């Protein structure tokens, strides 16, 4: 069942089209990622889902509610960590968590949440004195303190050190395991590949691809690269005829073939049948980075 439905969303700022006909549906309990270059329209899209921006046209439903018209019910089911946020400079991290928890009908244990996010030692620190990473962790905790059914995280781990990033990923995996639906905007491919069940790639206000991480990788032209130095001459035409081979090139005595896993297996059989050894054999799989670059065009913020 879809808990977030976005259909034909358009939003412009003056004559600049930030979001230009975006549609997607997020299923209950999944982590749905939104990836795209700077200025692609990701934050505008999720802010419309959160009810913080009013769409020009299009239909959005969050747990069946209109995020603008049904503000109250949406606030009760949805937690949000915004890309940029501020709190009163003098409030401490602990006071902020306690205050937010007090405003929620069914709050989480905010001390346990702070512990999970490595904030216990900073609970007595005023907001203005927290480091960038501590502020980020506090905003993640505030997004989760109301035990939301849906959580929107815009640049979840930006500014976090590698250990804090991994701890946060584990927390989000636990959040998903408890049945919460996550809408995640990120620039980190490793994060998207590890966490997301499906990803929408947005470029210049439009979705250019929507698939699982492995589905996106399979679509990339880079595919699997096989490179080796054969012990005897090999016919280029015969290599090009290998199943799923896209290209065969030769460089400095090395043969480089682009194809798929199927091409690798067939090549190994061919080499074995001909008694040829593949010296310095390298098989490189395409990554989500390759898919991202292939599928989001030039991706400049113009």
Contact positions toward ligand ATP, by CB under 6 A?
13, 16, 18, 36, 38-44, 83
Euclidean distance between CA atoms 35 and 125, whole angstroms: 34
What minimum distance in Å lies between the beta carbon of 192 and ligand ATP?
13
Helix axes 132-144, 162-177, angle to 10 degrees: 0
Q: Closer to ligand ATP at the Cβ: 14 or 105?
A: 14
For residue 72, how far is the Cα from the chain centroid? 28
Q: Closer to ligand ATP at the Cβ: 233 or 301?
A: 301
Q: What's the token pair of residue 68? A: 């603008």
Q: Closer to ligand ATP at the Cβ: 207 or 239?
A: 207
What minimum distance in Å lies between the beta carbon of 204 and ligand ATP?
9
What minimum distance in Å lies between the beta carbon of 160 and ligand ATP?
17
What minimum distance in Å lies between the beta carbon of 141 and ligand ATP?
22
Q: Closer to ligand ATP at the Cβ: 16 or 129?
A: 16
Euclidean distance between CA atoms 87 and 301, whole angstroms: 29
Q: What's the token pair of residue 9? A: 């969303």
Q: Closer to ligand ATP at the Cβ: 83 or 222?
A: 83
What minimum distance in Å lies between the beta carbon of 44 and ligand ATP?
3
């Amino acid at each position: 069942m879809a808990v977030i439905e976005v259909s034909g969303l358009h939003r412009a700022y003056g004559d600049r089209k930030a979001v230009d006909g975006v549609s997607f549906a997020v299923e209950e309990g999944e982590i749905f990622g939104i990836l795209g270059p700077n200025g692609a329209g990701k934050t505008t899209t999720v802010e419309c889902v959160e009810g913080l921006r009013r769409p020009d046209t299009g239909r959005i439903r969050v747990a069946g509610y209109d995020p603008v018209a049904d503000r109250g019910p949406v606030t009760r089911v949805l937690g949000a960590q915004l890309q940029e946020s501020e709190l009163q400079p003098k409030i401490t991290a602990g006071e902020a968590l306690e205050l937010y928890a007090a405003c929620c009908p069914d709050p989480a244990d905010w001390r346990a949440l702070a512990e999970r996010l490595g904030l216990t030692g900073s609970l007595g620190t005023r907001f203005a004195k927290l480091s960038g990473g501590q502020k980020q962790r506090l905003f993640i905790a505030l997004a989760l303190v109301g035990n939301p059914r849906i959580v929107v995280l815009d640049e979840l781990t930006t500014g976090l050190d590698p250990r804090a990033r991994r701890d946060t990923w584990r927390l989000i995996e636990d959040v998903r395991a408890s049945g919460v639906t996550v809408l995640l905007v990120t620039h980190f491919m490793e994060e998207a590949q590890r966490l997301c069940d499906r990803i929408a790639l947005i470029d210049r206000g439009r979705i250019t691809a929507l698939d699982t991480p492995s589905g996106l990788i399979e679509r990339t032209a880079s595919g699997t690269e096989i490179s080796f130095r054969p012990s005897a001459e090999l016919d280029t035409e015969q290599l090009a005829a290998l199943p799923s081979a896209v290209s065969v090139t030769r460089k400095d005595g090395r043969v480089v073939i682009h194809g798929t896993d199927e091409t690798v297996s067939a090549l190994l059989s061919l080499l074995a049948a001909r008694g040829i050894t593949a010296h310095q054999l390298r098989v490189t799989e395409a990554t989500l980075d390759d898919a991202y670059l292939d599928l989001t065009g030039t991706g400049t913020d113009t």
